[in-house]
Amino acid sequence: DGRGHAPMRSDDDADSLLIRLAMPATTEAQRQKLKDSLIEKVAHPMYGGQLQDRGVQGVPAEARIVVQWNDKPVTFADGHVETLRAPTFNLTKPGYGPFDNEL
């Protein structure tokens, strides 16, 4: 149908996903820009402010996005239990150098 979808399994593609990236402010200038709302986050120096796991022809992808789903049972007031799924996103196979621990 042409619409994007969330990956259902860890080996499913993440074509429809875009991961936002941010680093902690490490300089006074960055902290001031955040305080003054001149920037909303500090971008990663190599990967920028967002990451997608696709590249144009001949250019490697920035990384692989792996989604792991965690089941969480929720009990409603009437005693009915439903299982909700919460995603955990992991970035693997960085295409342009290792990720920082602060990312």
What's at 99, amino acid-wise?
F
How far are the Cα atoms of 9, 20, 76, 81, 97 from residue 42, in angstroms, in the given order?
Answer: 31, 11, 40, 41, 18
63-79 confidence digits (pLDDT tens): 988 888 899 999 999 99
Planar angle of CA 29, 32, 33, nearest 5 degrees: 85
Partnered with residue 67 across adjacent β-strands are 89
Task: Using CB atoms within 10 Å of the CB of residue 53, give its burial: 0 to 12 exposed, 13 to 18 middle, 19+ buried.
Answer: buried
- Does residue 16 contact residue 5 with C-beta atoms inside 8 Å? yes
Under 8 Å CB-to-CB from 32, ≥6 apart: which residues?
none
18-64 confidence digits (pLDDT tens): 899 999 999 999 999 999 999 999 999 899 999 988 888 999 889 98
6-20 confidence digits (pLDDT tens): 777 777 777 788 899
Q: How many helices (H) and strands (E) does the chain have?
A: 1, 4
